Amino acid sequence: MTTRIPQTERQRPLGTAFGYRSTAADVLAGHDLSGSTAVVTGGYSGLGLETTRALVGAGARVVVPARRPDAAAAAVAGLEGVEVDALDLSDLDSVAAFSARMRADGRLVDLVIDAAAVMATPPQRTAQGWELQFGTNHLGHFAMVAGLSGLLSRGARVVSYSSVGHFRSPVRFDDLGFDAEPYDPWVAYGQSKSANALFAVGLDQRGAAHGVHAFSVHPGGIMTELQRHMPFEDKLARGWIDEDGTPNPAFKTPAQGAATALWAATAPELAERGGVYGEDNDISVVVSDDATDVAAGGVKEWAIDTDAADRLWALSVTATGVEPFEG
């Protein structure tokens, strides 16, 4: 690994030309991705679908691995250069099978955008017995990137969807599965989003020698299928919708929500800022671990801490049986 620069030193806003309402098309304007291949999990719904559309519009070919391939194929019908394959992130055997098919195909991969996620689910376990949100949002993506790491081109970028939801919890290394404490769906979600950010830190540290960089992003508040496990009354009480079900106008559109990940995937100014967490198309400021103002944003140090990233990396290698850039 290269000499470590503390993530807090990298985590300094750049003052980009984009902002809260910038769209996927805005941040990709002027980028020619012809000849490149992207893998976008969840690339057939919500932010993922907007990401797929924008990448295709810039000339990229896009592989969309999906738990529901038929639904995915219907959603991306008419988008030239999009392929759908089967992948269930909550089942490591399914992840391994997808990765093996990609390796057999042999094409280099230039972008990986980990957009798929579950949020605030009832207590459930993955096929391998992990708490569902941690297992799906983090371990599934970790295993997929590990399986694809030999295909990543020099200059490739991996973008992990985190969230301001990481404010709710660091990675609970001593009780990942809520065996010692009662299950809280929002704490479980927060843990998984902290893990997504830490994965970007760990992956960048190890990928830099191969010319691969990783980033994590908070896309912003957007109403998508991600909220499908939330009761109407809960969304109403949080002010996310009104009594007619109309989203809060402060929320972003899916096209706006997809922008930050695409900015992280293509912005030349991030070449020396690997591992950073971004939002609103810029690098986020670091906030104290007791900060509670999610509207103000920022990233908590526990989500970019290099020691925590190393601990999570070791745990993930053991849990999945695979490791990016090894073997």
Residue 52 CA to residue 57 CA, distance in Å, equals 8
189 catalytic per annotation: yes
Distances 131 to 18, 21, 177, 189 between C-alpha atoms, Å: 37, 34, 5, 10
**H or E segment at 265?**
helix 259-266
What tokens were used for 30? Answer: 């002027």
* Three-state secondary structure call for residue 254: helix
Radius of gyration over alpha carbons of the chain, in Å?
18
* Three-state secondary structure call for residue 277: strand
DSSP state of 67: S
Of the residues 20, 44, 183, 189, only one is catalytic, namely 189
Query: CB 309: neighbour CB atoms within 10 A?
Result: 25
Residue 206 CA to residue 313 CA, distance in Å, equals 10
CB burial of residue 237 (10 Å; 0-12, 13-18, 19+) = exposed
The residues annotated with a catalytic role in the active site are 189
